[in-house]
């Protein structure tokens, strides 16, 4: 469908207040799920990020890459094992994690942003000791629990006008490398940066009162309401740790947190630059 020039102008005018609100502010995007696998969606995400950067938003992209890690482990003849949903990461596996996340995935995203006219610099949690960690659970091996966040390398990159793209591997003072949860890493980075927003891209529409009813989406939740929603079973299972990351991020200094459906093209722009949005927003009291 062709859009007239007048319609285009109207869309831009409606977006103006939101552009003004976010210009000069830090927005952390946790990138994962189907939007990271589907090439068309990946293209959409990178275009959104470049556009935001061009209008003055300080975008920080934080990513994992579980499916790519699993694929590489298969190629080297190693079977993935999980405990409580977390990947068992022995010394050989953590080498693969570092190679895939800090190498292949990270640099492919930096390259893709470049093809859209953006300027990005790839970092890992190891660079400048951005993410320091300790062993989370002896059963899991080199799966890390983040203990410290140093955002100086990130702010240095932002001040030069680049988009930091950060892979979620961490280290400790002894030089050990850890695989860390991308949701937690994004929340801690956003908190330390005192970001205006943290946007978590998922494969769900947001928090719904009835998972079978798309019209039951809850557009806004106060942090104090989450415990009651868990007690009611509205937030359950694998959503509980994701929601905890949202509320933790706010307690650590983030103004607002959004869970959005990354399966929708240009979901980031719809959430940030329209009056309706598409996901669930978490706020302070």
Query: H/E element holding 73?
Result: helix 66-75
Which has more pLDDT, 212 or 178?
Answer: 178
Provide the token pair at 63. Answer: 């990513």
Residues in the chain: 285
Provide the token pair at 239. Answer: 């959503």
pLDDT at 2: 54
Nearest CA to 148 among 188, 121, 109, 176? 188
**Average of pLDDT values for 231-250?**
89
CB 116 within 8 A of CB 45: no
Residue with tokens 């946790």: 30
Q: pLDDT tens digits for 205-218? A: 888 888 888 888 89
pLDDT of residue 276 exceeding 90: no
**Domain extents in the chain:** 25-283
Give the integer Cα–Cα distance in Å for 163 and 81: 34
Give the integer Cα–Cα distance in Å for 141 and 271: 38
**Average of pLDDT values for 220-244?**
89
Classify 74 as helix, strand or coil.
helix
pLDDT of residue 32 exceeding 80: yes
**Average of pLDDT values for 159-186?**
95
**Average of pLDDT values for 240-252?**
92
Binned at pLDDT 50, 70 and 90, residue 169 comes out as very high
Q: Are strands 58-63 and 131-135 parallel, antiparallel or unpaired?
A: unpaired
Question: pTM for this structure?
Answer: 0.93
Classify 102 as helix, strand or coil.
helix
CB 109 within 8 A of CB 132: no
Alpha helical stretches, state H, 103-148: 106-115
Mean pLDDT of the chain: 91
Q: pLDDT tens digits for 58-102? A: 999 999 988 899 899 999 998 888 887 788 899 999 999 999 999
Q: Give every CB contact of residue 5 below 8 A, 6+ residues apart in sequence.
A: none
Q: Give every CB contact of residue 232 below 8 A, 6+ residues apart in sequence.
A: none
CB 116 within 8 A of CB 46: yes
Q: pLDDT tens digits for 128-155? A: 999 999 999 899 999 999 999 999 999 9
Binned at pLDDT 50, 70 and 90, residue 12 comes out as confident
| Overall CATH class of domain 25-283 | alpha beta
pLDDT of residue 1 exceeding 70: no
pLDDT at 3: 59
Q: pLDDT tens digits for 39-61? A: 899 999 999 999 999 999 999 99
Give the integer Cα–Cα distance in Å for 148 and 129: 9
Exposure string of 19-44, with b = 16+ CB inside 10 Å and e = fewer, is eeebeeebbbbbbbbebbeeeebbeb
């Amino acid at each position: 469908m062709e859009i007239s020039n007048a319609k285009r102008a109207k869309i831009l005018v409606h977006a103006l207040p939101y552009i003004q609100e976010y210009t000069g502010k830090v927005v952390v995007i946790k990138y994962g799920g189907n939007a990271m696998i589907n090439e068309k969606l990946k293209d959409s995400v990178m275009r959104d990020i470049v556009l935001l950067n061009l209008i003055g938003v300080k975008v920080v992209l934080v990513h994992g890459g579980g499916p790519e890690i699993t694929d590489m482990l298969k190629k080297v003849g190693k079977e993935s094992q999980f405990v409580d949903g977390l990947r068992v990461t022995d010394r050989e596996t953590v080498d693969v994690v570092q190679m895939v996340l800090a190498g292949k995935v990270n640099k492919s995203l930096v390259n893709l942003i470049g093809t859209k006219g953006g300027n990005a610099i790839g970092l890992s949690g190891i660079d400048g000791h951005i993410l320091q960690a300790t062993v989370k659970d002896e059963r899991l091996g080199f799966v890390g629990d983040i203990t410290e966040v140093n955002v100086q390398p990130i702010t240095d990159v932002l001040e030069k006008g680049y988009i930091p793209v950060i892979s979620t591997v961490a280290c400790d003072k002894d030089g050990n490398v850890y695989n860390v949860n991308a949701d937690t890493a994004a929340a801690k980075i956003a908190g330390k940066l005192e970001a205006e927003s943290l946007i978590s891209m998922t494969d769900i529409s947001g928090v719904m009162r009835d998972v079978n009813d798309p019209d039951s989406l809850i557009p806004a939740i106060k942090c104090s309401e989450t415990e009651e929603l868990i007690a009611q079973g509205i937030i359950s299972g694998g959503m509980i740790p994701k929601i905890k990351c949202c509320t933790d991020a706010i307690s650590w200094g983030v103004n607002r947190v959004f869970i959005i459906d990354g399966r929708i093209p240009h979901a980031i722009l719809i959430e940030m630059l329209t009056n309706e949005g598409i996901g669930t927003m978490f706020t302070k009291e």
